[in-house]
Amino acid sequence: MASSNAGKIREIARLLDGLGVEIVPQSELGVVDADETGTTFVENSLIKARHASDATGLPAIADDSGLVVDALDGRPGVYSARYAGPDATDDDNVDQLLEELEEVPDGSRGAAFHCAASFIMPGNSEAIIAEGVWRGTILRARRGHGGFGYDPIFLDPESGLSGAELNPDEKNARSHRGQALRKLAALLRKQFS
């Protein structure tokens, strides 16, 4: 798995359970994070998957995801993980976003999490790609203690709960990453069955 994010690794391992593969974080194989130089979630996902596969000689799965806020013309987008700066924590990024949206009325706080997931075989330039989108709104304050990233301020309209209030199974059933990885798993089953 082309990621070192522990929360993301846990989510992905749960979603790909039953595929008959072992998910190994790239950090356990001595692979450092790739430079995310793409301008889209798909480009960054492919960059990370190719980087991990080239470094290990193993098949690699990567995802790139982020929060697209309507009132901010799509920001933070592909810069979601480093929105408040290159060394920003999740809390720093949430604080930055809440500050920018402080004057935005409740009816204009629409947002969506986007995810692109990709699978690469060693030496193979053909990737398998799947995408997912989770629409919601941005809350005015944090709610809940689960999840990671922007989950505490992202309101799921179906449940009325923040991403951080959903249990892992509920979150995976709705989330952008859950959607993308279920699609990717189906494509992998089809490709390799």
Segments making up each domain of the chain, as ranges: 6-192
Q: Which of 17, 33, 54, 64 is catalytic?
A: 64
Nearest CA-CA partner of 49 in 149, 148, 125, 132 = 125
| Of the listed ranges 6-10, 36-40, 48-52, 151-155, the one predicted with least confidence | 6-10
**C-alpha to C-alpha distance for 169 and 24, rounded to whole angstroms:** 21
Helix (H, G, I), strand (E, B) or coil at 108: helix
Tell me if residue 70 is catalytic: no
Cut 0.85: pTM above it = yes
**C-alpha to C-alpha distance for 121 and 110, rounded to whole angstroms:** 37
Does CATH place domain 6-192 in 3.40.630.10? Answer: no
Q: pLDDT tens digits for 137-179?
A: 999 999 999 988 999 999 999 999 999 999 988 998 999 999 9
Helix (H, G, I), strand (E, B) or coil at 66: strand
Beta strands 60-69 and 110-120: pairing type?
A: antiparallel
Residues 6+ apart with CB under 8 A from 186: none
Is the pLDDT reported for residue 17 higher than 80?
Answer: no
